[in-house]
Chain A
Amino acid sequence: EPEVTQTPSHQVTQMGQEVILRCVPISNHLYFYWYRQILGQKVEFLVSFYNNEISEKSEIFDDQFSVERPDGSNFTLKIRSTKLEDSAMYFCASGGLSGSGNTIYFGEGSWLTVV
């Protein structure tokens, strides 16, 4: 069964460093998302991406964050200068295969720890 894959599964970085989280969405999907889950809290929407541009973003997704689909298969989230409060599980998701309804499929997540 097709799945969304994410790398790395866990990354520890120092405050102020740049981090890139990578995702390979399900092929033929059209919409891509990043969500995050701070430990013990709810899953929060960060950004959605369609047709090579951001279609919607939350208040959390400020100038520190950026997304890119560099090569038609990968979908990346870049955090330019990490802060302690960026420590969270980041989930990539994809959806939009014609006929599949509104289901959004999630990857297993990337744990980011900022120290």
Chain B
Amino acid sequence: NAGVTQTPKFQVLKTGQSMTLQCAQDMNHNSMYWYRQDPGMGLRLIYYSASEGTTDKGEVPNGYNVSRLNKREFSLRLESAAPSQTSVYFCASRNTEAFFGQGTRLTVV
């Protein structure tokens, strides 16, 4: 039982490059989430999807787009990466209890 799987684990981008972070869950959860966590800080909600076919903005959506591809998969896209997007990104899914992926450590230079 894999839970929540995120890829990649590490990534270095140049300013202006684009990339997509992938997330998949095998727990049949309706709700999925993307967070970013900066050093010494809490997790800030970027986007969420309460059910398949819906997505909504969270606290810090600027510079990001998401796609809820199906019930299992929820991807996060950076169209034009900026140094301010250097962070650790976590995907999560839940009913009541949230399960998190292991994180993607992204550096934008």
Asked if A and B bind, the verdict is: no
Query: Residues of A at under 8 Å CB distance from B?
Result: none
Query: Residues of B at under 8 Å CB distance from A?
Result: none
